[in-house]
Amino acid sequence: MAGLGLIALGLSACTDIAAPAEPILKPVSRPDKPRATAKPPAVARPTSEASAALRSYLNQVQSAQLGQGLLRRDGGGGDTPFTSTMLARNFEKIAFFNEYDGNFSGPGGPSPLRRWATPVRMDLIFGDGVPPSQRKSDTEHVRSYAERLGRVSGHSVSMSKKANFIVVIAGEDDRTAALAAAAARLPGVSAASLAPLDNLTRDTYCVVAAYASGSGANTYTTALAVIRAENPSLLRLSCIHEELAQGMGLANDSPTARPSIFNDDDEFSLLTRHDELLLKMLYDPRLRAGMTAEQARPIVQKIAAELIDGGPV
């Protein structure tokens, strides 16, 4: 990867209305010359049968999950209490392990603590098939979520054209081109090295990869998230929440984490209060990138106890 090491991977199976004013009628003068015709608004390219079939499948997935009471957006409540011990255990499982290996072909293994040292600057690249209305909506979601990630973690996260964390939202027909455009903007990342992010299985709704360069093998310098444009609205928003948070350093999922998006059961679709605490712990200055789980454990337990005050939330 031309000087960059892939160090984390993750993916997800994710008033009153004023009365109208009275119209005012007045004569309109006829111009001497025809007015210049404005350029028609950009339109998305038509999609292929493969993309249309995938969109249909993902809509069925979302409908089925909602029908089963999954993809909750309430952040948890009285039915999902957790203690400081549970929070510390979940942090260790999620921050000190990889979800997948470097080729997305098998499970990952233990890893030292990984996080960013420099400010995270996010930007989006859309595939040609994503319509303008969807681009606007997705951009606003990423922008507001980036602000939230920065607020809860205490680490600088913002939107910038000088991005080191690119979010690609593209479909089956244009993902390859969008990834090539992303590679051109990320130093040390080649289009060829992004093949695992292009060749996604049907049940992979989104994916993220984070990279390190130089001597800080556990310090992120670049990240790239890929979200299928075929995802329906809630699955796509769920992908934004999970992959961008995983790209901050919470690279794994755990079946015991609840209420959490870092759990493959898809019970929760959006970042929960539990997950905000994980991000806060990750960027606590008492922890350092490169720490092992064993080295960090007493510090993690202390931070969790401080956050929870020794009782359930």
pLDDT in tens, 208-225: 999 987 667 899 999 999
Query: Which of 260, 212, 194, 226 is closest to 111 using CA atoms?
Result: 212
In DSSP terms, 85 is beta-bridged to: none
H runs (alpha helix) in the chain: 49-67, 84-95, 132-153, 175-185, 195-198, 233-246, 273-282, 293-308
Q: Do residues 244 and 266 both lie within one domain? A: no
* Average pLDDT estimate for 105-119: 85
**197, 220, 248 — which closes off a domain?**
248
Domain extent, residue 140, equals 115-248
Q: Is residue 309 part of a domain?
A: yes
Q: Do residues 228 and 313 both lie within one domain? A: no
Query: Which of 137, 135, 145, 136 is closest to 165 using CA atoms?
Result: 145
Longest pairwise C-alpha distance within the chain:
81
For residue 122, the domain's CATH number is: 3.10.170
In DSSP terms, 165 is beta-bridged to: 122, 223
What is the DSSP secondary-structure string of 101-159? -TTSSSB--B----EESSPEEEEEEE-TTS-HHHHHHHHHHHHHHHHHHHHHH-S-EEE
DSSP-derived pairing of the beta strands 4-12 and 206-213: antiparallel
Q: Do residues 99 and 185 both lie within one domain? A: no
pLDDT of 105 over the 60 cut: no
Q: Do residues 239 and 227 both lie within one domain? A: yes
pLDDT at 205: 96
pLDDT of 177 over the 50 cut: yes
pLDDT at 46: 74
Q: Do residues 217 and 150 both lie within one domain? A: yes
Q: Is residue 286 part of a domain?
A: yes
Q: Is residue 62 part of a domain?
A: no
Q: Do residues 194 and 83 both lie within one domain? A: no
pLDDT at 16: 35
Can you tell me whether residue 234 is helix, strand or coil?
A: helix
Q: Is residue 55 part of a domain?
A: no
pLDDT at 128: 96
Q: Do residues 123 and 227 both lie within one domain? A: yes
Counting the structural domains of the chain, the total is: 2
pLDDT at 29: 35
Q: Do residues 93 and 192 both lie within one domain? A: no
pLDDT tier for residue 20 given thresholds of 50, 70 and 90 = very low
* Average pLDDT estimate for 276-299: 98
**248, 269, 300 — which closes off a domain?**
248
Q: Do residues 121 and 138 both lie within one domain? A: yes
pLDDT of 2 over the 90 cut: no
Q: Is residue 25 part of a domain?
A: no
Q: Do residues 221 and 103 both lie within one domain? A: no
Whether pTM > 0.75 for this model: the answer is yes
Query: Which of 182, 218, 227, 223 is closest to 290 using CA atoms?
Result: 218
Q: Is residue 54 part of a domain?
A: no
pLDDT tier for residue 188 given thresholds of 50, 70 and 90 = confident
Q: Is residue 9 part of a domain?
A: no
Q: Do residues 237 and 270 both lie within one domain? A: no
Cα–Cα distance, 312 to 90 (Å, whole number): 14
